[in-house]
C-alpha cells in the first residue's frame, strides 16, 4: 500500500506536511514567486480567477492578489491587476460565502457573469439530451456549467490580456474531481501539489475566517443535488485523501477507493491522446 501511495504522491508532486509556520510561509512565498514568474514569462500583467465561495478559490485568489501587489510595489506599474470573477448560475445558494470571500481577498476588480442563459441556450440546442434520464441530463449540464465558467474567464482574460488561474490541488487531482476542459483548464495552477488541509492552512495564515476555511467543500453543479458535499461524491473524506497522499496509514477500503479512482481518472490528468 505504501509503495502505491508513494508512487501516486510523486506523480502529483505532493508537498510534505508543513513542519511549522515558517515552512508554511516559505511555501506561500514560493508559490507567490511562481505566479509572478508566470506573468513575467508570458509578458502579461493581469490575472483572472473565478471565485466560488469555497476555500480553494479563496486561497488561490489570496496568493494571486499578493503576487500582483508585490509586482506593483516592485515595478511601480499600476497595470498589474487581479480580477476576481463571480460566475453564478442564476442565484447561488451560498452567495453569502462568495461575497465573504471577496471581502477577504480585496481584489483589484470584481466582475460578475451569470452563466445560466448561456448554459440553458446550449442545452436547448443539444438534441442528444432530449429524452434522457433526469439524473443523466443534470450531470451532463453540470459539467457544462463548469466549462461555461471557464469560457467566461478566458473571455475576460482575452479582453484584458491576462492569464487564467486554476484551483486544482493534489487532493482533487488524485480523485479526478474536476471537469475536463472546465475547471481543469487554466494557464497556471498555484495550488498544485498541496493537500486539502494545506490549502486550508494557507487560507488561515492570510487571516481568512474559520467559517470559510472549514466550509464543507462542494462543486455545486447538480440542480437535483444542490450543495452536494465533495466527500459524498468521493466515498472518502478529505482527511483520508490527505493521509493517503502523505503516505500515512488509511483503511483498506479508503485505499481501494482512492487508488481505483486515481486509475480511472488518469485521462483527466493527461494531454489529449495522439497517434
Which is catalytic among the residues 27, 108, 172, 222? 172
172 is catalytic: yes
Residue 235: per-residue pLDDT = 97
Find out whether 69 and 47 touch, Cβ atoms under 8 Å.
no
Q: Per CATH, which fold does 13-231 belong to?
A: Rossmann fold (3.40.50)
Catalytic residue among 56, 201, 230, 242: 56
Domain segments of the chain as ranges: 13-231
- DSSP annotation string for 160-186: HTEEEB----HHHHTTT-S-TTTTT--
Query: From CA 135, how far away is CA 54, in angstroms rounded?
Result: 25
In the predicted model, residues of the chain with pLDDT beneath 70 are none
Q: 201 catalytic, yes or no?
A: no
Report the DSSP beta bridge partners of residue 47. 82, 163
- Give the number of other Cβ atoms within 10 Å of residue 128's Cβ: 8
> What pTM does this model have?
0.96
pLDDT at 93: 87
Phi-psi region of 60 (alpha: psi -120 to 50; beta: other; left: phi over 0): alpha
In the three-class reduction of DSSP (H, G, I as helix; E, B as strand; rest coil), residue 129 is classed as helix
Amino acid at each position: 500500500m505504501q509503495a502505491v501511495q508513494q508512487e501516486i504522491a510523486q506523480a502529483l508532486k505532493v508537498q510534505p506536511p508543513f513542519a511549522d509556520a515558517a515552512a508554511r510561509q516559505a511555501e506561500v512565498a514560493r508559490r507567490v514567486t511562481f505566479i509572478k514568474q508566470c506573468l513575467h514569462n508570458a509578458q502579461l500583467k493581469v490575472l483572472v480567477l473565478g471565485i466560488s465561495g469555497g476555500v480553494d478559490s479563496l486561497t488561490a485568489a489570496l496568493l494571486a492578489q499578493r503576487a500582483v501587489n508585490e509586482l506593483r510595489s516592485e515595478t511601480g506599474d499600476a497595470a498589474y491587476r487581479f480580477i476576481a470573477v463571480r460566475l453564478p448560475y442564476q442565484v447561488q445558494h451560498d452567495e453569502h460565502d462568495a461575497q465573504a470571500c471577496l471581502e477577504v481577498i480585496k481584489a483589484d476588480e470584481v466582475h460578475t457573469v451569470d452563466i445560466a442563459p448561456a448554459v440553458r441556450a446550449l442545452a436547448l440546442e443539444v438534441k442528444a439530451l432530449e429524452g434522457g434520464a433526469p439524473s443523466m441530463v443534470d450531470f451532463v449540464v453540470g459539467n457544462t456549467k463548469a466549462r461555461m465558467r471557464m469560457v467566461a474567464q478566458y473571455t475576460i482574460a482575452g479582453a484584458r490580456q491576462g492569464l487564467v488561474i486554476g484551483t486544482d490541488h493534489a487532493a482533487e487531482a488524485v480523485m479526478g474531481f474536476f471537469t475536463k476542459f472546465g475547471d481543469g483548464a487554466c494557464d497556471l495552477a498555484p495550488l498544485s501539489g498541496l493537500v486539502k488541509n494545506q490549502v486550508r492552512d494557507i487560507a488561515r495564515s492570510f487571516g481568512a475566517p474559520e467559517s470559510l476555511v472549514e466550509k464543507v467543500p462542494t462543486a455545486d453543479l447538480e440542480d437535483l443535488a444542490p450543495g452536494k458535499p465533495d466527500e459524498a461524491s468521493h466515498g472518502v473524506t478529505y482527511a483520508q485523501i490527505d493521509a493517503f497522499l502523505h503516505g500515512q496509514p488509511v483503511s483498506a477500503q479508503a485505499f481501494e477507493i482512492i487508488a481505483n479512482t486515481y486509475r480511472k481518472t488518469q485521462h483527466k490528468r493527461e494531454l489529449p491522446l495522439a497517434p
